[in-house]
Amino acid sequence: MLKFPDHQVAGHQALRGQLGPQIDESGRFYKPLQQDERGSREAAFYNALLHSNTKVKKQILRFFPAYYGTQNIEASDGSGLHPHLVLQDVVSDYVKPCIIDIKIGSRTWYPQASEDYVAKCLRKDRGTTTVSLGFRISGLQIYQAENSGYWKPDRNQIHKFTVDDVRSVFRKLISSNQSVCNSDYGGIFPQLLELKSWFEDQTDFHFYSCSILLIYDGESENKGGNPHSMIKLIDFAHVFSGNDVIDHNFLGGLCSLIKFISDTPAIHSTKP
């Protein structure tokens, strides 16, 4: 039995009869394969990642959703069978998933892109924090409390985020989640540093318009367990060969994110 994801914060959504991702009970996430080169590039990337197992270490592979190939399933828009990427539903075992989707890089266009595509991306990059910060928030939900539920600003609001707004988001994340301000941002910080080390060295892939998801459990503090937080990279429709050069665009944005987070003071929750 497939259903629409409860915790999708960005990207195409399977609402109002549109084509979008679906999930099942076993923790799989079905992402419609885009019918142009974006779809083939994304599938090719997951295959390259898996089949270059010897090159990409397990330590790094854990930062990507598990990939189970492609499968024809009934599309969410009722248009019949459609090929889908079968991926791990990265939030399936979270009780109250807090998610921040951060599109990394100070540019989202790739060198081979057409003039029009570059111009379109550049306009968006200059209009958001992409150029100034080297990353922008594409979506988010933060669990606040039983009565108030999730804070999940809409797309238009997020597109207008300034650098200060982005800082506020991280502040809100910290103050709504006790586990985050303890132990290295809830364990996220060392993961980001590991990812950074990889990007300082790897010259296989260049990731444009790719996101890092920061995922926490909004209920973990109640259970007193581990922070249970992780990062996952998603959205590989614009991944290209690195041609023996590092992905300096992604790396620069990632370093900026790391510094930005580490400069956001971990104020303890003001909740009673």
Q: Which string of DSSP letters, residue by residue, matches 30-62? A: EEEPPSSHHHHHHHHHHHHHHHTTTTS-HHHHT
Element (H, E) at 124: helix 115-127
Q: Which of 19, 61, 66, 131 binds its own copies (CB under 8 A)?
A: 131
Nearer to its own copies, 241 or 269 (CB): 241
**By CB under 8 A, residue 238 contacts its own copies:** no
Is residue 263 within the footprint of its own copies (CB under 8 A)? yes
Name the one residue in this structure whose structure tokens are 């142009």.
36
203 near its own copies, rule: CB under 8 A: yes
* Shortest Cβ 256–its own copies spacing (Å): 4
Q: Is residue 147 exposed (0-12), middle (13-18) or buried (19+ Cβ within 10 Å)?
A: exposed
Comparing CB distances to its own copies, the nearer of 34 and 132 is: 132
Helix %, strand %, coil % of the chain (to 5): 35, 25, 40
State in angstroms the smallest separation of the CB of 245 from its own copies: 6
Residue 251 lies near its own copies (rule: CB under 8 A): yes
* Interface with its own copies, residue 127, by CB under 8 A: no
> Regarding beta strands 67-74 and 22-23, do their DSSP bridges make them parallel or antiparallel, or are they unpaired?
unpaired
Binding site for its own copies (CB under 8 A): 106-107, 111, 118, 122, 126, 131-134, 163, 200-201, 203, 243-246, 248-249, 251-253, 255-256, 259-260, 263
